[in-house]
């Protein structure tokens, strides 16, 4: 086996953490809104879910992704 690793970090970057946090909050809000029968809030949380994905993509493009210029990988 080779000692070289092509591992991209499995999303351990500020962009990934931010996107997942926003989308997790959206999912929780949507679930509670569904239980409380608030359709407008369910749809608003679906919109927030999309916003989370877009924010993650933008942060990755700006340099906060795994191979970005502003990301410093931490050793294990």
What are the residue boundaries of the structural domains of the chain, listed by start?
31-66
Output the pTM of the full model.
0.79
d(C-alpha 17, C-alpha 20), whole Å: 5
Distance, CA of 4 to CA of 63 (rounded, Å): 24
User: For residue 76, is pLDDT > 80?
Assistant: no
pLDDT score of 28: 98
Mean pLDDT of the chain: 86
Higher pLDDT, 73 or 65: 65
Per-residue pLDDT for 1 more than 90? no
CB 36 within 8 A of CB 70: no
Q: Please give the Cα distance from 6 to 47 (Å, whole number).
A: 34
Q: What is the DSSP letter of 60?
A: I
């Amino acid at each position: 086996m080779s000692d070289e690793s092509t591992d991209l970090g499995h999303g351990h970057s500020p962009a990934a953490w931010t996107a997942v946090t926003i989308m997790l909050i959206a999912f929780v809000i949507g679930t509670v809104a569904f239980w409380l029968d608030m359709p407008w809030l369910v749809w608003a949380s679906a919109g927030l879910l999309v916003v989370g994905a877009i924010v993650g993509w933008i942060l990755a493009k700006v340099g906060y992704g795994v191979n970005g210029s502003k990301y410093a990988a931490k050793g294990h």
